[in-house]
Amino acid sequence: MDFDFFLLDVDGVLTNNLAEVSEPVCSEVSRLTREGAVVCLATGRSLDWLYKRVKPFLSKSDYSKLFFVGENGAVWCSFNSSFEPLEGREPEFNVPEKIKRASREKTREWPLLFFDESKTAMVSVESRHELLKSDEDFSASQEQLGACHEYLKGFENDFLRATRTLYACDLHHSGANKETAAKRAFSLAETRPKKILLVGDSEADLRFAEGLPQESGFCFYFVGEEERLRARPEWVLFTKNKHDEGTLSLLKTLNL
Ligand SMILES: [Mg+2]
């Protein structure tokens, strides 16, 4: 194995089934950077979320080799030698303030949802996990997410897209996606990788492969539930363990 660049999704890749960030996976990430590889975490989450939930576990990294890309490529950061972030953003990907304000206001109508204030480019409305104690609560949250998705779809135009997952509805610029996130990762690192390891757990993560420098070889490992993947390009590899445990066993077997 001679991977020198790692591009990892975060939710379901660095996290366990309780959505908690895995400390052992983060230790492996730090080890890889210390051994000379570049590691970029690329997610739909905000930078603020990454700073609070992931960064504390990465303090043993070589900071010059570590990068975060958030909100699917709309925001990003590298780190200085004191592990302070140096942020950048793509202003074109900002959802207009007027739409953000209206969506924030509208979200008050759905008691099981909240408006994610940490996002700076996109609108993200999420389930309040702490309130979902029964199947009825979960069904009610799904109904509210459905209503929210319909509402956000009303803002769709040539650039804005409304998407829905099991726990969130987003309104984002169509240019913010995993392909853009991958391109951003490679331009941030200013390196020409020889071999790239991609790790994801959802269909959207397959687009990492579209953002790679052309001459680079890559492997893509899928650590999510296999039935979540409808399209299966022949280059997708599957881990035996899933989510953080799959990522951990994968990273642990790599010697640079
Ligand atoms: Mg994920």
Question: What value does the mean pLDDT take over residues 197-212?
Answer: 96
How far does residue 184's CA lie from ligand 1's centre (Å)? 18
How far does residue 222's CA lie from ligand 1's centre (Å)? 10
Q: What is the pLDDT of residues 183-194, one digit of tens each?
A: 999 999 998 899
Asked whether residue 256 carries a pLDDT value surpassing 80, the answer given is no
Tokens standing for residue 34 = 């210390």
Mean of all residue pLDDT scores within the chain = 95
- Report residue 102's pLDDT band, with 50, 70 and 90 as the boundaries: very high
Q: What is the pLDDT, as a whole number, of residue 215?
A: 82
Percentage of residues in the chain having pLDDT higher than 70: 99
Query: Would you identify the CATH topology of the domain 5-90+177-252?
Result: Rossmann fold (3.40.50)
How far does residue 44's CA lie from ligand 1's centre (Å)? 8
Give the integer Cα–Cα distance in Å for 110 and 106. 8
- Report residue 35's pLDDT band, with 50, 70 and 90 as the boundaries: very high
How far does residue 221's CA lie from ligand 1's centre (Å)? 12
- pTM of the predicted model, to two decimals? 0.94
- Report residue 1's pLDDT band, with 50, 70 and 90 as the boundaries: low
- Report residue 19's pLDDT band, with 50, 70 and 90 as the boundaries: confident
Q: What is the pLDDT of residues 153-175, one digit of tens each?
A: 999 999 999 999 888 999 999 99
Q: What is the pLDDT, as a whole number, of residue 170?
A: 96
Sorted by where each begins, the domain ranges of the chain are 5-90+177-252, 93-173
